[in-house]
Chains A and B, each alone.
Chain A
Amino acid sequence: MELAGLLANLGLGFSVAVSLQNLLWCLAGAVIGTCIGVLPGVGPVATMALLLPVTYLLPAEGALIMLAGIYYGAQYGGSTTAILVNLPGESSSVVTTLDGYQMARQGRAGPALAIAALGSFFAGCVATVAIALAAPPLTRLAQQFTPPDYFSLMTLGLVFAIVLARGSVLKAFGMVFLGMLLGLIGTDVNTGNLRYTFGISDLFDGIGFVPLAMGVFGVAEIIANLTNPERGELASSKVSGLLPTREDVKRSIAPIVRGTVLGGLLGILPGGGAILASFSAYTLEKKVSRTPEKFGTGMIEGVAAPESANNAAAQTSFIPMLTLGIPSNAVMAMMIGGMMIHGIVPGPQVMEQRPGLFWGMIVSMWFGNLMLIVLNLPLIGIWVRLLLVPYRLLAIAILFFCSIGVYSLNNSANEVLMIAVFGLFGYLLMKLDFEPAPLLLGFLLGPMMEVYMRRTMLLSRGDPWVFLQRPLSLCFLVLAALLLVFVVLPNVRQAREAAFRE
């Protein structure tokens, strides 16, 4: 029954994903994703924020299929830059530079690129099946959630985001609180009172998600990147001999499988995602290797594992978003933004009310991965040429697309002003070594948590202990507390810092 149901669902998804229109959007997402993945300094979050206004013009299926394609496409593209230029095209490819660039310098760029793409493809296929398997039971579980359960689950999500954020835990706390406070700006939906609007009518509906994300992730990045124009040296502009040797393949199989499993698991965690997955996979490979001292000198394992892991994680991070409606990282926050633009309330009901959308998106990921492997292996030369565009020109183009993208949302020039404000604010946060991702999650979850908190208090007649009396809610809160205790323990903290420093 379970298997038959799964096949029926996948069949439905297949019929949606295979339509010419959706295949085209999937291809568009994969191409854009590869493109921005290759370009250092342009990330998937900023790109998705930029394209959110455009998705308004598409049907919901096409919009979400394209947005998803950008995220996992960026994981493919990011490795190209890491291997050829020693610069991470994406932050999730940082560790790939260590061994990938060394391989390129030894004239083995082709095998490194091929293994990275094949590993990503394998991970993408496995992760797609994992989503299809995990989504229905999780959705069924989520349908039994009561308001206190949701509140506690979101608390747990934010705690995960804090624990898994890079850098200081205290600062991540600060970002979550600040994000939640920013999320409360505007009209209080329950009472109609205004909060922190300073009489500015543009703030009555609250701060827009798109201007905030674009400012903090897009404009702030431009300012920071213009300051220190990093330019790497192309290891080789011509990539010849893509085929890995039999030895390469043999050495890569186990790391690819390990990377896929580890990445897939880490991707599900809120606050996790591609970056953490690639770091952890590299560390794991070093641990299990018989020659750990050789890592950093061009070991193919050091390319295979993290590249598989980041793609697996990029895809499994859709699971909490699709089943619970909770964004686990900034990219998923964008996906939720994309759903809301189309009037879809994210949550467990999506699978029942829009099965075509739900399964179509999952199946499209498999098509997307197939397209990406074609895009990235035979066509690699085209992407390499992209690297010749200097950042000083990219900056001009990005800033223009940000401005006109935000303007086109509501034809409101004031929202463009907001990205200037948030851009400067985001730059300030960067200089003070704050991570912007927890801010964005707090911003999205803060108002939702307030709604659930109020519902809970109303149902319990003002008794706050109900959060500890509901078994599920209690579980989530205990887990959150344990995580917090865990992360302040000195030895765990050292391990965490070491993992991020690699």
Chain B
Amino acid sequence: MRIRSSQDFAAGLLLLAFGVAGLWIGADYPMGTAQRPGTGVLPMILSWCLIGTGVLLWIKTAVAGSARLTPWAWRPAILVSLATVAFALLVDRLGLVGTMIVSMTLTALGTPDTRWREYLVFALLMLALGVGLFIYALGMPIPALPAGSQWN
């Protein structure tokens, strides 16, 4: 069996990585006394628990095997994340309308079965809803259009 494609091997690796990182970064957190446990006590315990669980998962994989990893959905994963990141980066600069156009289009690009004409109509509806609900009705302090534009 190819270890690298095993689901549980990867799962164990993830837990181990967090455990080791938790120990490493938390190494200099003060431990305090038994009566007054310090900042570092629980992180250390939890990190060791994570390492232990990861190792047990590896042992279980070696003994009993595990399901294989299914293929990654790269396109939706990357584009949905990009759409969210774009929202975060643009909302303070570009105003709501521009941000929504960029972010929604990125999501649509990440969708395998987008129909662009349908998307266009839907996007216009969402824009109206977004501006109407969040800016006019709820009064959120986001400009609809970029700051400094003469439409504001």
Contact = CB atoms under 8 A, between A and B. Distances in A.
B149 interface: no
Interface residues on A, range: 35 or more
B124 interface: no
Given A229-B113, A457-B34, A414 B88 contact: yes
Nearest to B76: A226
Contacts of B100: 400
B103 A400 contact: yes
Given A417-B85, A420-B85, A457 B70 contact: no
Contacts of A400: 87, 100, 103-104, 126, 130
Interface of B: 7-8, 10-11, 14-15, 18, 22, 25-26, 29-30, 32-39, 42-43, 46-47, 49-50, 53-54, 56-57, 60, 67, 69-70, 72-73, 76-77, 80-81, 83-85, 87-89, 91-92, 100, 103-104, 107-108, 110-115, 118-119, 122-123, 126, 130, 134, 138, 140-142
A222 B80 contact: yes
A483 interface: no
B4 to A, nearest CB: 13
B91 A392 contact: no
15 contacts: A174-B54, A177-B15, A178-B18, A229-B112, A396-B119, A397-B126, A399-B84, A400-B100, A400-B103, A404-B130, A407-B88, A407-B91, A416-B88, A423-B84, A457-B34
A424 B77 contact: yes
A174 B22 CA distance: 14
A428 B57 contact: no
A55 to B, nearest CB: 13
Contacts of B10: 432
Contacts of B30: 191, 193
A4 interface: no
A392 B81 CA distance: 16
A420 B78 CA distance: 10
B84 A454 contact: no
B43 A178 contact: no
Contacts of A432: 7, 10-11, 14, 69
Given A177-B50, A400-B100, A433-B11, A458 B35 contact: yes
Contact of A396 (B39, B88, B126): B126
A476 interface: no
* Best-buried of A177, A196, A420, A431 by chain B (most CB within 10 Å): A177
A403 B102 CA distance: 13
A461 interface: yes
Given A219-B80, A420-B85, 4 more contacts: A196-B43, A219-B84, A407-B142, A431-B70
A427 interface: yes
A178 to B, nearest CB: 6
A49 to B, nearest CB: 14
Contact of A171 (B11, B29, B38, B42): B11
Interface in A426-481: 427-428, 431-434, 446, 450, 453-454, 457-458, 461-464
Nearest to B34: A462
Contact of A180 (B32, B46, B77, B138): B46
Contacts of A419: 84
Given A195-B29, A395-B107, A427-B77, A420 B88 contact: yes
B117 to A, nearest CB: 12
B18 A181 contact: yes
Contact of B36 (A171, A397, A423, A458): A458
